[in-house]
Amino acid sequence: MTKRAENRTLAILATDGFEQVELTSPKEAIENAGGTCKIVSPNDQRIQGNKHREHGDWFDVDVKLDEAKAEDFDALLIPGGLFNPDALRRNSKALAFASAFFEQKKPVFSICHGPQVLISAGLVNGRKMTGFSAIQQDLKNAGAVVTDEPVVVDEGLVTSRNPDDLGQFNAKIVEEICEGKHAAQRESVTA
């Protein structure tokens, strides 16, 4: 097994109600490639996942959002679920944290409903993206160029639709975090 992602650290921005497998599966992929993952959350100590609509497991928070800095990480993952993105998109510190990764040209990964956070941060206009079928129109309304594919890659921004796509999504996450900064990563394209 190669350790391609050695010395790379992925920030996972999440709060209660994230779709559990959308956090655990990418985390496992990065760790299997030799990287490190840190859960960043507005919660102090623990967050609870969801397994579809049922409560899932509890996970320790590694870094409180108030103390997190994008410069301490190589990339950002925003998992979906119904409640996680909805709470994060109303949190100004979460939006600023996500925006900082774009400003620093670092890879950003988001799956399912996770791109709603990027919509609220004003980061999707002109970007090629996908997301869960229920938010694809929201992405279009915010100016994204949306296709219904398992994984869409746009200069360091990697989006995916749902847990069925995790195999392809995880492979792209590992590839992109290993590539590092993307000179063409941008916040959005102005009209």
Question: Is 52 known to be catalytic?
Answer: no
Q: Give the whole-angstrom CA distance, residue 23 versus residue 169.
A: 12
pLDDT exceeds 70 at position 152: yes
What tens digit of pLDDT does each residue of 27-66 get?
999 999 999 999 999 998 999 999 988 999 999 999 999 9
11 has pLDDT over 70: yes
The answer to whether 113 is a known catalytic residue is yes
pLDDT of residue 191: 43
Top CATH class, 9-179: alpha beta
Kindly name the residue from 37, 52, 55, 113 that is annotated as catalytic: 113
| Catalytic-role residue among 52, 55, 112, 182 | 112
| pLDDT value of position 3 | 86
Q: Are 48 and 17 in contact (CB under 8 A)?
A: yes
pTM as predicted: 0.95
Structure tokens at 75: 């990339």
Predicted confidence band of residue 109 (pLDDT cuts 50, 70, 90): very high
